[in-house]
Structure 1
């Protein structure tokens, strides 16, 4: 068994100036710029986990035969670091991300990274690049953290790689949707599925996202910003968006989200909303919901709001569902911003916890710095 990883710091010789960093933080966008450093560690079948370090952010050197380039043996996570009013820096439910990272690793035949090493890598990177964490008072700003692992062995045989690289990079982030908080349009894919039983739908791996991109292009061609997928067997049951889980708000106050079937990613935000919604007085159901129930419910008014959730986008209201041959508007469009009251309340409660504006009664926050 490998000893716990340590992450000694190799300071980069040419960090960005304070002025350049502040210019970036004033309008970071999402996933466009990166901090000065990154985490690296290596696993091999003979040595286990070793050679952890913090080093200058920059290109990785890969052999052209590296297994990840040919067989997509890769997983990742997404989380955020939040600066609270007193200047301290926290992250949200990292143990859940660490556990999912291990589940994804098992599904992709990659080595499991111990939870302690996962958390230590986050703390080490944010400590050295803490100046990159935006002020929480500047709107929904955060430092997005992207841990990932990939098969780096130079070998073309089809088998689990004997050498793997672990990396964490960080990117200052504003709102995921550049247009801000407003209802988005969803394209219902009838030609593509995101995942099938026995596949990798419950793992957070790049291949799932690659498989969603053709449908995403189709959505754009039909004036939509995101795509919704149905199940791979009956093409009847609603699963998730390309990168977010779905919730349906009923007129009687119930919240329904598709149950986890092995083809849906178990979102950390999804799980948190299930608990927060109960605290706000909602009955919560995890069950299958058909596309007919979605369309008929919106048409009759029984479904009053629909929203998507995920780490990057937090909680995003859906305002329009379109498909080949039709479309419908969702929710009360007489409201100025088109955001339903339940969606707004859940979103605010979640953000207030993450940014330290209300008490964390669940113990979900972990201090990084």
Structure 2
């Protein structure tokens, strides 16, 4: 077991900026439950899990028991919590490790949201209660090997075969796929019944035990090592007619789910940033150079102050977007503002913290390099910086540059 120089603790930075005062009692309760879970279940083992590329499947039903899986969904055993409460849970889980916020996002914001938004009543009853409990796991297959930023160019197809469907193609970087019981697979349908010109993107529920479905964990990752991402091969996967998600037509289907996941990232990345800031602050008070703590030096205090300001700005932005979401007024461009800002600033905070920690900052005695590595993945998935810049640019100019 790794012996750490830094032990995560309850934030002390809140004494400077009373963010808790902006939350309801119910929101604070969700946050505290998620913080306890992270501190008791994840933090004691995460450095070893990252080192050994190990994902603790035994925590999945425990997350379900806490109500964290699909917690924004109403009914079907889900908690029906508010958007801010969900964001705060993402914040606390990612303060431990991005991999665990990613799990909650893939399970709840992607797979479960796809079924809840677009599924038939029978599909919802079949899958959602077990997924909310963590008894069943789902994944979301959109990204393909040639790239993820142009889903309209996907090559995975679904063709009619009698009364059913046959899916063929490949997906890549699909979280949880090798652990999943059901995969939400997006494919182009070549049939005059679907979309202009006979081609449209539709979603399908694929039990992973179906012949022809293969999920293989991607090796050699230097990021998200305590998590699972996979390649999926679809070799003439035969499905019944009712495998299609009836409410999802075109790319608005997967995009509606991606926006749910992007919203959680806005909060989650600030959790990773807060964890790094806490590590730097703690070490600045105990590491002494030239006869005094480095926290007494002006340059170190300037770094801490700048990082603190960015964390609080990011938190306030996340809260504003959460309140908009609760009113049903949150737009895709606003989500892009939050995702772009949170991840970009979290990475910069990780880099600045590493400089405060000096040589020790590259070791797993501190969580900072692990967060920095993970955030490189978070920066890429659910839309790269460049994609979000173009979404914002389109909103500002009215002109599409992609």
Give the TM-score, by structure 2 length. Answer: 0.23
Higher strand proportion (structure 1 or 2): 1
Give the TM-score, by structure 1 length. Answer: 0.25
Higher helix proportion (structure 1 or 2): 2
